[in-house]
Amino acid sequence: MTTVTADPAPPSTPPGRPARPSRLRRSWEKHWYAWAMVLPVVIVLAVLIFYPLFRGVWLSFTNLTEANQVAEICTRSITGGEVCTDNPNKWEFVGLDNYVRVLTGEVGEFWQWTGVTLIWTFVCVACHFGLGLGLANMLNRPMRARGFYRVVLVLPWAVPAFVSAFAWKFIFNERFGLANALLTALGIDPVSWFADRWTALLTAIVTNVWLGVPFMMVALLGGMQTIPSELYEAAEIDGASAWQRFRNITLPGLRPVSMTVVLLGTIWTFNMFPIIFLVTEGQPAGQSEILVTGAYRAAFEGIRNYSLASTYGVLILSILLVFSVFYRRVLRKQGEVW
């Protein structure tokens, strides 16, 4: 693991005790440039990600809101001076109250949002991966206009998420959207997409799938190009069918890439804020809300409730941590070192 091989705690060091400082120095001399190279990133992450995280965990055990955050209430007196008194409703430590309130459904709809989030994440990642794999497999063979297809199919990646959200919301507009116009042209009654929970969710999923397939496709295509072509040639000589080659060479060869992108895709989709927030806006009546958007509305609409936001943040992070630990364990069991 490290280069340090000596016993880390020798209490009976010989006189002069050169061991410890010199080992530290040797470690420093050997690694200082590596540390120097990562230092800026570590500082920025520590200040802007980890400090907020620990503060968030602490806040989730308090009842801090916008209304009770000040320690003193100051009022101007008639003479022009300021009189400050202690805030009687100052925020305080409340233990697990926030968690109880969230998990029992006293505030927000934690379980409903979690359910929607799980459906949303599963369907989106499955479609991303399935479509990405299919398209990558098609693009991985020699044919005419391959370069053209590749550029066009990656194009949605270049569109900023809020623009795609807007574009699809425009398409799914009930009165003049393209989707309903096409349905009408086909002789089907127009659908009021955002009046039903499932059609509303469908619009968001379509948007997110459209947005997310290019990344999967590119990553998988890259993975496919690292598979040695001799394997395919040998298989072909042995008379393996296209499907057999796909199952027995392409899929195993893609395993490392797939595992990484599926994990990343799951995390990103789980926390995908702008799509739900802008496309469905939780319609109808908050039923298409996922955890991050639901938490955002519950905590920040009206008086900003910082402690509630933190509680949701901690819960979301815990779910994802448990998921990735579990995921890694399954991978380990299958012999994947990752």
Partner 1 sequence: MSKVTRRGHRRRSPAMSVLLHGTLILASLIAIGPIAWVLLSSLKPGYAIQSSELTLFRDTTLANYRYVLTETNFPRWFLNSVIVAAFTMTIGIFLSATTGYAVSRFNFPGRRPLMMVFLVTQMFPVAILIVPIYTILARLGLINTMPALIVAYLTIAVPFCAWMLKGYFDSIPTSLDEAAALDGCGPFATFWRVVLPLARPAVAVTAFYTFLTAWGEVAYASAFIQTDNKFTLAYGLQQFVPQFNPQWEYLTAAAVLVTIPAGLVFFFAQKHLVSGLTAGGTKG
Q: Which two tokens stand for residue 177?
A: 């959207």
The count of chain residues that interact with partner 1, using the rule CB under 8 A, is: 106
Could you give the C-alpha distances from 210 to 24, 113, 207, 289, in angstroms and in order? 52, 23, 5, 20
Binding mask 178-207 for partner 1 (x = CB under 8 A): x-xxx-xx----------------------
Q: Hey, which residues between 85 and 144 contact partner 1 (CB under 8 A)?
A: 135, 138-139, 141-144
The Cβ-side half-sphere exposure at 3, using a 13 Å CA radius, reads 9
53 is an interface residue for partner 1 by CB under 8 A = yes
Secondary structure of residue 219 in the 3-state scheme: helix
> Nearer Cβ to partner 1, position 1 or 78?
1
Q: With CB under 8 A as the contact rule, which of the stretches 14-22, 86-94, 97-105, 176-184 interacts with partner 1? A: 176-184
> Residue 242 contacts by C-beta under 8 Å, 6 or more apart in sequence?
none
162 is an interface residue for partner 1 by CB under 8 A = yes
Q: Give dist(CA 102, CA 114) in Å, integer.
A: 12
Binding mask 294-333 for partner 1 (x = CB under 8 A): -xx--x----x-x--xx-xx--xx--xx--x---------
DSSP states of 233-252 as a string?
A: HHHHHTT--HHHHIIIIIHH
> Nearer Cβ to partner 1, position 26 or 83?
26
Single residue of 3, 12, 75, 79 touching partner 1 by CB under 8 A: 3
6 is an interface residue for partner 1 by CB under 8 A = no
243 is an interface residue for partner 1 by CB under 8 A = no
> Nearer Cβ to partner 1, position 144 or 333?
144
- Give the nearest distance from C-beta 15 to partner 1 in angstroms: 28
Phi, psi of 275 (to 5 degrees): -65, -55
Residues 98 and 311 sit within 8 Å (Cβ to Cβ): yes
248 is an interface residue for partner 1 by CB under 8 A = no
Helix and strand counts by DSSP (H, E) for the chain: 14, 2
Bridge partners of 62?
93
* Count of CB atoms situated within 10 Å of the CB of 128: 25
> Nearer Cβ to partner 1, position 76 or 141?
141
Single residue of 6, 78, 158, 186 touching partner 1 by CB under 8 A: 158
Single residue of 167, 191, 202, 240 touching partner 1 by CB under 8 A: 167
- Give the nearest distance from C-beta 324 to partner 1 in angstroms: 7
* Count of CB atoms situated within 10 Å of the CB of 157: 14
- Give the nearest distance from C-beta 62 to partner 1 in angstroms: 13
34 is an interface residue for partner 1 by CB under 8 A = yes
Residue from 85, 112, 169, 82 nearest 293 by CA: 112
9 is an interface residue for partner 1 by CB under 8 A = no
Single residue of 157, 197, 240, 284 touching partner 1 by CB under 8 A: 157
Cis peptide before 228 (omega within 30 of 0): no
